Amino acid sequence: MSYPEYEQDVLRTLSLQFNLQTEAGGPHPTASDLSRALGKAIEAGHLVDTLKRSIFYGSRFESPSDERQELPIYVGDDGPDAQHPSPDMLHSALGVFTEAAEFLEAIVQSMFGGEPFDQTNAIEELGDLEWYMAVMRQRLQVSQEKVQRINIAKLRARYPEKFKKGDALDRDLERERSVLESTLD
């Protein structure tokens, strides 16, 4: 599957709805509800970035809590047959989370702060996301093309023709898992 073909299938399954209310009390969130939730997500992204920088780059970490509980951690080797994720996989997952939070922060600053959208920064964050995804794919020994094929097979199972609200809200997770597993072979 070429990338333009992938993009075409992605757009076929994209929701074109934008259900924000102007007043509280209805079935959808208000801009205030959205802003508050996104602020918390960005804050979580900053905390996770601090953890990532300490664990993988050696910066100092100040625990926000005096109550530390010792937990076991199960660390595996790189590769698709490992029983537990490797440190590189954790690094990649934390990186995706923090870069997505930075991308989200740029959107929030523009949508709720009135600042012009910084497309250069957005593209830079997409590049960082791609970097972390490439590390993860390499560690799982799967190509970008195969991940895209698997993703589209799942989306075609969920949305046979195009995005439909009912299909998004009432998903057949067993069917999707079956499609994923059959596509992995």
Compute the radius of gyration of the chain from its Cα atoms.
Answer: 19
pLDDT at 4: 85
The average confidence (pLDDT) of the chain is 89
The 3-state DSSP class for residue 83 equals coil
Measure the CA angle with vertex 11, ends 172 and 135; round to 5°.
80
H-state helical runs in the chain: 3-12, 31-57, 87-111, 119-140, 144-158, 165-169, 173-184
Query: How far is the C-alpha of 11 from the C-alpha of 145, rounded, in Å?
Result: 17
Q: Tell me how crowded residue 48 is: count the other CB atoms within 10 A of its CB.
A: 16
End-to-end CA distance of the chain: 16
- What is residue 138's three-state secondary structure? helix
Look up the pTM and report it: 0.85
Residue-wise pLDDT for 44-55, tens only, equals 999 999 999 999
Q: How confident is the model at residue 79 (pLDDT cuts 50, 70, 90)?
A: low
Q: Which two tokens stand for residue 68?
A: 């530390």
How confident is the model over 82-120, as pLDDT tens digits? 788 889 999 999 999 999 999 999 999 999 999 999 999
Q: CA torsion, points 107, 113, 115, 121, in degrees to nearest 10? A: -30
Could you say which DSSP state residue 113 is in? Answer: T
